[in-house]
Amino acid sequence: MLTIDGVGKTFFPGSVNERRALTDLDLRLDEGDFVTVIGSNGAGKSTLLNAIAGRIGVDTGRIDIDGTTVNRLPEHRRARYVGRVFQDPMAGTAPDLTIEQNLSLALLRGERRGLGRGVTKKRRERFVEELRSLELGLEDRLKAKVGLLSGGQRQALSLLMAGFTRPRILLLDEHTAALDPQRAALVTSLTGSIVAQGGLTTLMVTHNMQQAIALGNRLIMMHEGRIVFEADDAAKRKLTVEALMAEFGKVKGASFDDRAMLG
Amino acid sequence: MIGAVELGLLYGVMALGVYLTFRVLRFPDLTVDGSFTTGAAVAASMIVAGQSPVLATLAGAGAGLVAGVVTGLLHTKGHIDGLLAGILTMIALWSVNLRIMGGANVPLLREDTLMTPLRDADLLGGTWLGALAFLGGVLVLKLLVDWFLATDLGLAIQATGNNKQMIKSLGVDTDFTTILTLALSNGLVGLCGALVAQYQGFADISMGIGLILVGLASVILGQAVLGQRVIFMASLAVVLGAVLYRIIIYVALQVGLNPNDMKAVTAALVVAALLLPRWGPLKRVPSWRDLRGGRANGRAAAPVAEDAPAPAQKEA
Ligand SMILES: Nc1ncnc2c1ncn2[C@@H]1O[C@H](COP(=O)(O)OP(=O)(O)OP(=O)(O)O)[C@@H](O)[C@H]1O
Ligand SMILES: [Mg+2]
């Protein structure tokens, strides 16, 4: 489904600001895999997602989606494979457009857009149905501008927009991090149900260990541009927050040692 | 007065174009000053050369469209700042326009133009019937703009102005939507130039100078009165704004201001329209817009959201 093979990315190479964000990274996702990604700040998690979505180009390696090498495709041409939700609740929707207009935009993910009516009766019926599944009452507010919604509502809508056309891959980047605990819990449970319903192959970045363990069938931990720990389905079932913290401690220690040796 | 309204309705066509870039795409496009004259120059030259006025007018619109494409290409493919891209095209068009006209102006005095039938029937200037005809024409264009913005492609254009990253992640080539909008906008502006040249009986190299401000004044004035919450009202507002603007200029001239002062009056009008709503006492005067539900980020927004407000954006 998704194959990442030896991908590397360095920002500002050769300058004092040089930053190695991804180092020779390999990752394979099979159809229906739901992988949670954890790691410290600056570990390269967002960079990995940006590289898959095509927002940034990579220096080395190959990214295949569904057997197609997408390295050279610009972001907008990868959109038909990739749905995304960002950390910022404002990022995934157009605030001055209505809920139904936003959904219409998302419905045509990756398709040609012509002079047909944007919001038709038939589409509206579908939107009502989809929105009902969020249980936020948004189905009664189709004509409300999205800018009027709260962060949690917008993020739920973003999630629906990213997933309801069943993209080959769903990328979630700390999409609950900017919400208060109650809304975060709501969006987390919606994530579970939308992914399960669509059978979506998913990569989800989170800082919440509990969430990383609770959701998905695989887990990876990143540090300094590499995957430093991986748990498959069986291993993940047995994972605890304490065990994860211990793994975290190990890599932190290692990097500290590395630096000490270099110094 | 009737003349001012007629002129205002004609300039409403340009205001619709400026609305597309300035409000919908949120692109400050200065091409307008040049493409307006280009439309006029092309239409006037073709009419003088004996072409049919309809064809000449359409060609004027087409020339404006091309100018918009140039600005769009400079900005999207050349990564030149939007303001600068527009200025570059505008300045270059000065030379192009002189070439097209073969001089600084082209008189249309005894030529057959789109206005000839109206003039022959004595409908212009003296009666409101000419204005009514113009109103019909500009409303048709306004409805076309409304329709277009509600299509799948039009929604993608609106989203390009509203949240570019988001619409890119949904598979829209925002370079394309940007160029297309600039093309359509300047096409309308060129069309307006062609019509104005025929209305006033000549095309002139300096007829477009400062026009972007006239466009902005129309958009801001009109939307201050009618609001911009739904597209139907927003586009109606810019046409109304164009008429209002001409009436204000007409009144300014009537009270004895010099025609040469009109550029300063226009600039002052835009500054006032931009600043006044932000100043103390005036802020509390509810405009029609507020009474009718407010805008997305206006004060009226708070009670509508039932949920906790979104926290400020954190750095990713
Ligand atoms: N667009 C960019 N330009 C320059 N440097 C960048 C850019 N994006 C990321 N980086 C750098 O790459 C490294 C990895 O950043 P990335 O955003 O991928 O981390 P992250 O794991 O998502 O961290 P966080 O948990 O803080 O979101 C960091 O050192 C960061 O400064
Ligand atoms: Mg990140």
Two tokens, residue B131: 């204005």
Q: pLDDT tens for residues B19-50?
A: 999 999 999 999 999 999 999 999 999 999 99
Q: pLDDT tens for residues B145-155?
A: 999 999 999 99
Residues B66, B71, B75: CA angle, nearest 5 degrees: 145
Window from A112-126, A171-185, B170-184 with minimum mean pLDDT: A171-185
Residue B306: band (very low, low, confident or very high) from pLDDT cuts 50, 70, 90? very low
State the pLDDT at residue A254. 54
Q: For residue A33, count other CB atoms closer than 10 A to its CB.
A: 18
Examine the pLDDT at B280 and tell me if it is beyond 60: no
Examine the pLDDT at B119 and tell me if it is beyond 90: no
Instruction: Please state the rounded mean pLDDT for residues B208-229.
Output: 89
Better-scored residue on pLDDT, A226 or B285: A226
State the pLDDT at residue B310. 40
Residue B156: band (very low, low, confident or very high) from pLDDT cuts 50, 70, 90? very high
Instruction: Determine which of A85, A88, A90, A113 to mutate to test the interface with B (most B C-beta atoms within 10 Å).
Output: A113
Q: How far apart are CA B239 and CA B131, in angstroms?
A: 13
Q: How far apart are CA A103 and CA A86, in angstroms?
A: 17
State the pLDDT at residue B146. 97
State the pLDDT at residue B294. 38
Domain that holds residue A11: 2-262
Residue A116: band (very low, low, confident or very high) from pLDDT cuts 50, 70, 90? very high
How many CB pairs (< 8 A) connect A and B? 137
Quote the radius of gyration of chain B (alpha carbons, Å).
Answer: 20
Identity of the amino acid at B2: I
State the pLDDT at residue A250. 82
Examine the pLDDT at B300 and tell me if it is beyond 90: no
Q: How far apart are CA B176 and CA B174, in angstroms?
A: 5
Can you give the CATH number for the domain in which A31 is found? 3.40.50.300
Residue A263: band (very low, low, confident or very high) from pLDDT cuts 50, 70, 90? very low
- Estimate to the nearest angstrom the gap between the alpha carbon of A140 and the chain centroid: 28
Q: How far apart are CA A224 and CA B239, in angstroms?
A: 57
Residue A164, burial from CB neighbour count under 10 angstroms (0-12, 13-18, 19+): buried
Two tokens, residue B288: 């029609």
Two tokens, residue A127: 């939107």
Subunit contact A150:B308, Cβ cutoff 8 A: yes
Q: pLDDT tens for residues B234-254?
A: 999 999 999 999 999 999 999
Q: Could you tell me the residue ranges of all domains in chain B?
A: 2-208
Query: Ligand 1 pocket: which residues have CB below 6 Å?
Result: A 11, 19, 21, 39, 41-47; B 316
Q: In chain A, which among 31-50 make CB contacts under 8 A with chain B?
A: 46
Q: Are strands A68-69 and A60-65 parallel, antiparallel or unpaired?
A: antiparallel
Subunit contact B152:A96, Cβ cutoff 8 A: no
Subunit contact A97:B158, Cβ cutoff 8 A: yes
Residue A245: band (very low, low, confident or very high) from pLDDT cuts 50, 70, 90? confident
State the pLDDT at residue B167. 96
Residues of B with a Cβ under 8 Å from any A Cβ are 148, 150-156, 158-159, 162-163, 165-174, 296-297, 301, 304-311, 313-314, 316
- Estimate to the nearest angstrom the gap between the alpha carbon of B175 and the chain centroid: 21
Is A136 in contact with A150 (CB distance < 8 Å)? no
Cβ of residue A94 closer than 8 Å to a chain B Cβ: yes
State the pLDDT at residue B121. 86
Is B305 in contact with A144 (CB distance < 8 Å)? no
Better-scored residue on pLDDT, B98 or B313: B98
Cβ of residue A79 closer than 8 Å to a chain B Cβ: yes
State the pLDDT at residue A170. 96
pTM: 0.88
Examine the pLDDT at A258 and tell me if it is beyond 60: no
Positive or negative CA dihedral for A158, A160, A164, A170?
A: positive
Residue A261: band (very low, low, confident or very high) from pLDDT cuts 50, 70, 90? very low
The closest of A74, A27, A42 to A203, measured between CA atoms, is: A27
Better-scored residue on pLDDT, A247 or B91: B91
Examine the pLDDT at B303 and tell me if it is beyond 60: no
Residue B114: band (very low, low, confident or very high) from pLDDT cuts 50, 70, 90? very high
How many separate domains does chain A show?
A: 1
Ligand 1 atom showing the smallest separation from residue A48 Cα: 18
Examine the pLDDT at B131 and tell me if it is beyond 50: yes
Examine the pLDDT at B291 and tell me if it is beyond 70: no
- Estimate to the nearest angstrom the gap between the alpha carbon of B26 and the chain centroid: 13
Q: pLDDT tens for residues A211-220?
A: 899 899 999 9
Q: How far apart are CA A254 and CA A252, in angstroms?
A: 5
Residue B127: band (very low, low, confident or very high) from pLDDT cuts 50, 70, 90? confident
Residue B297: band (very low, low, confident or very high) from pLDDT cuts 50, 70, 90? very low
Ligand 1 atom showing the smallest separation from residue A205 Cα: 22
The closest of B117, B140, B141, B112 to B129, measured between CA atoms, is: B117
Q: How far is the CA of A46 from the centre of ligand 1 (A)?
A: 6
Nearest to A105 among B156, B310, B314 (CB): B156
Counting residues of chain B whose pLDDT is more than 70, the rounded percentage is 88
Closest residue to atom 30 of ligand 1, CA basis: A42
State the pLDDT at residue B281. 54
Two tokens, residue B312: 């400020």
Residue A86: band (very low, low, confident or very high) from pLDDT cuts 50, 70, 90? very high
Q: Are strands A2-11 and A19-29 parallel, antiparallel or unpaired?
A: antiparallel
